[in-house]
């Protein structure tokens, strides 16, 4: 039987920093960020936006036309957890009005937990094909001002409806896996910023790719040339280039023209180049970018590599379904990205330095543009979320936003 992705949508925060601006302030050559890392902009969430509001926004769109009563489980993947106990997915469950029978829980293994969610969801719908699962992955990538990781920051969420009627991509059961205990990237509970051994993390990523691919080949017998397009986890888009050249070399395709190899990944990079890293969401925002960027992938097989530092990796594959273009949310994504507002360096730094209170006092967050959900405030250590009533097509309120940002600079 078939099972796979019925719908996919992503959400990016309304604010971004142009990496040319960041390069100027850090005394770096802009081409280091634009060409060396392959990044152009990075998303910055305002204080009334978090993994819950971003995840709910992505899921709201992905569920368009899907009967919520058929959602059996919501799997929420993140490495920017807001609570050690309560799953962020429970808030999303409430904001979306999912049925009380629908389970909701949280998954963790760095950027790979979204794929752990997809694999669990596939197992569920293969067992009970009348049910659907909703996988939501949402993260804020935060490294620290002035660190080498700073230009690879970003934020975003993605939501995938997994079902036995995959209108977009039917995912194969067989997949390759690789797990190894390494310290390439981690974030202890007492820190807001990740710690990373940057160069080492790239080495481990590539080693995990080799090993997960070898296991995938053992399980499936497939070859490099059986795949028309490739999606990689995207901490920064240049990483996909490194990964794809690495895989091509490993499989005896290293001598193929550079342009031929790049054409196999280029469409998957468009969104991430302007959103930045979104950890668990990043790979699947890349998949949305690929599907929405090419109109003639009917029947083509995709190779999908998921990497989570620490580390666990998985190599998946799937076949793009006939007529998939009719089920995408490309216009919605284009409008969302077009409407974003650019921050000055000072505005970015002020938002970065903003912290929610941790003493349990009552606190109202300043109102920014946040899509259909926002974090209204906190009280007695409880997060308070609200829905925003607005038409789908209503434009952003630029004037109010400017005031809210100015409030952080005051
Ligand atoms: N013009 C063009 N290119 C330039 C340039 C210029 N003026 N100046 C430098 N470059 C190139 C460099 O040659 C280099 O290219 P190569 O990789 O091909 O050698 C590239 O720009 C980056 O330059 P550096 O290596 O000098 O950059 P850096 O040391 O300052 O940091 C980084 C790079 C290690 C990736 C850092 O941004 C970082 O730590 N990022 C976070 C960690 C990360 O993303 N790791 C990826 C694997 S782990 C993972 O995938 C999980 C996850 O999501 C975090």
The residue to which tokens 């990044």 are assigned: 39
Question: In 251-320, which residue ranges form alpha helices assigned H by DSSP?
Answer: 258-263, 270-275, 282-293
State the pLDDT at residue 401: 61
What's the gap in Å between 274 CA and the centre of ligand 1? 17
Average pLDDT per consecutive 10 residues, the chain (410 residues; last block may be shorter): 97 98 98 98 97 98 96 98 98 98 98 98 97 98 96 98 98 97 97 96 98 98 98 98 98 98 98 98 98 98 98 98 98 97 97 95 94 96 94 59 62
233 is catalytic: yes
- For ligand 1, pick from 148, 182, 197 the residue to mutate: most ligand atoms within 8 Å of CB: 148
- To test the pocket of ligand 1, the residue of 27, 31, 32, 276 to mutate (highest count of ligand atoms within 8 Å of its CB) is 32
Cα 97 to Cα 305: distance, rounded to the nearest angstrom = 33
What is the sign of the dihedral through the CA atoms of 12, 15, 20 and 22? negative
- Closest approach atom of ligand 1 to CA 236: 44
112 is catalytic: no
Q: Which of 6, 40, 49, 79 is catalytic?
A: 79
- pLDDT for 99: 97
Q: Given the residues 233, 244, 246, 408, select the one marked as catalytic.
A: 233
pLDDT at 299: 98
Nearest CA to ligand 1 atom 14: 36
Name every residue whose Cβ is closer than 8 Å to that of residue 34 and which is 6 or more positions away in sequence.
19, 20, 40
pLDDT of residue 310: 98
| CA dist., res. 102 & res. 401, Å (int) | 36
21 in Cβ contact with 53 (< 8 Å): no
Number of Cβ within 10 Å of residue 322's Cβ equals 10
Question: Bridge-partner residues for 373, per DSSP?
Answer: 387
CA distances from 175 to 29, 115, 220 (A): 41, 11, 8
pLDDT for residue 391: 72
Separation CA 272–CA 261 (nearest Å): 19
The pLDDT score that the predictor gives to residue 398 is 55
**Atom 40 of ligand 1: nearest residue by CA position:** 149
Neighbour tally for 313: CB within 10 Å:
29
Strands (E), 368-408: 373-379, 382-387
- Cα(29) to ligand 1 centroid in Å equals 13
């Amino acid at each position: 039987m078939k099972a796979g992705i019925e719908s996919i949508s992503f959400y990016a925060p309304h604010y971004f920093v142009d990496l040319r601006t960041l390069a100027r302030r850090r005394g770096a050559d802009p081409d280091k960020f634009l060409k060396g890392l392959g990044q152009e902009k990075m998303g910055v969430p305002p204080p009334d936006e978090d993994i819950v509001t971003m995840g709910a926004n992505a899921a709201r769109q992905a569920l368009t036309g899907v009967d919520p009563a058929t959602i059996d489980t919501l799997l929420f993947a993140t490495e920017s957890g807001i609570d050690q106990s309560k799953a962020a997915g429970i808030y999303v469950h409430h904001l979306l009005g999912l049925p009380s029978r629908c389970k909701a829980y949280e998954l963790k293994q760095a950027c790979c937990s979204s794929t752990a969610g997809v694999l669990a969801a596939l197992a569920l719908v293969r067992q009970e094909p009348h049910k659907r699962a909703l996988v939501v992955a949402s993260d804020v990538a935060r490294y620290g001002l002035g660190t080498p990781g700073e230009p690879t920051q970003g934020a975003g969420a993605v939501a995938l409806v997994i079902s036995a009627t995959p209108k977009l991509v039917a995912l194969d059961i067989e997949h390759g896996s690789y797990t190894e205990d390494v310290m390439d990237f981690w974030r202890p509970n007492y820190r807001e910023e990740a710690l990373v051994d940057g160069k080492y993390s790239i080495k481990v990523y590539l080693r995990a790719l080799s090993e997960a691919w070898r296991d995938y080949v053992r399980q499936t017998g497939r070859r490099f040339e059986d795949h028309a397009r490739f999606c990689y986890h995207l901490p920064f888009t240049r990483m996909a280039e490194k990964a794809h050249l690495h895989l091509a070399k490993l499989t005896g395709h290293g001598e193929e023209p550079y342009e031929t190899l790049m054409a196999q990944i280029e469409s998957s990079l468009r969104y991430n180049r302007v959103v930045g890293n979104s950890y668990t969401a990043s790979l699947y925002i890349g998949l949305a970018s690929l599907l929405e960027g090419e109109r003639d992938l009917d029947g083509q097989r995709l190779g999908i590599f998921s990497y989570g530092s620490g580390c666990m990796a998985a190599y998946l594959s799937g076949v793009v379904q006939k007529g998939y273009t009719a089920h995408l949310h490309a216009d919605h994504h284009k409008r969302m990205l077009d409407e974003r507002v650019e921050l000055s360096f000072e505005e970015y730094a002020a938002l970065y330095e903003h912290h929610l209170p941790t003493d349990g006092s009552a606190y109202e967050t300043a109102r920014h543009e946040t899509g259909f959900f926002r974090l209204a405030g906190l009280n007695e250590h409880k997060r308070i979320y609200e829905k925003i009533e607005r038409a789908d097509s209503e434009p952003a309120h630029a004037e109010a936003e400017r005031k809210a940002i100015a409030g952080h600079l005051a």
